[in-house]
Structure 1
Amino acid sequence: MYDIALAFLIVVSVLLIIVVAAQPSKTNAASSLSGGAEQLFGKQKARGFEAFLIRLTIILGTVFVVLTIVLEYLINH
């Protein structure tokens, strides 16, 4: 059981790294001069592929945490 959970954790970790790296950057040169006020007050909802990547990141992060807790339980028992 431990080996299966560890294998899933490794797969989820690699997928999480790929998904986070694939997300587009939201910074631009003007935000460093204005302190990012445009991004704070002009926030727009992500759409399409960007929204999918955000949801996938949340799901993979949750699975990562759950698998880590399961592995910790398996190690201690």
Structure 2
Amino acid sequence: MYQVLLAILLILSVILIAVIFIQPAKNQSSNVFDAGTGALFERSKARGFEAVMQRITAILVAIWMLVALALVVISSTGM
């Protein structure tokens, strides 16, 4: 069981990295040191592709954390 969860965690990690790299960059707030950008802390609602990618990322992170937590529990019990 431990080996299966470890393999799932590795696969999820690779997929999560790929999904994060696919997300479009936010050019308005990318430069933190630019004093002229007043929209740095402004929240805009994501639409279309951005919204889908944000949801996929959130779901993958939640699954990744559950698998990692399961691995910790299994390794601490000595199964």
* TM-based fold match above 0.5: yes
Amino acid at match of 2:3: D
The DSSP-based 3-state class of the residue aligned with 1:37 is: coil
Give deviations 1:16-43, integer Å, cap 9, x for gaps. 0001011111024887241x312434x3
Equivalent residue for 2:38? 37
Give deviations 1:8-66, integer Å, cap 9, x for gaps. 101110110001011111024887241x312434x321111110100111111111111
* Structure 2 unmatched ranges of 5 or more: none
Amino acid at match of 2:69: I
The aligned length equals 75
Equivalent residue for 1:60? 60
* Structure 1 unmatched ranges of 5 or more: none
Give the TM-score normalised by structure 2.
Answer: 0.81
- 4+ residue runs of structure 1 moved beyond 6 angstroms? none
The DSSP-based 3-state class of the residue aligned with 1:44 is: coil
Give the TM-score normalised by structure 1.
Answer: 0.83
Distance 1:54 1:30 in 2: 21
After superposition, the CA RMSD in angstroms is 2.0
Over 3 Å counting, the alpha-carbon distance change for 1:18 and 1:75 in structure 2 is: same
Distance 1:4 1:30 in 2: 41
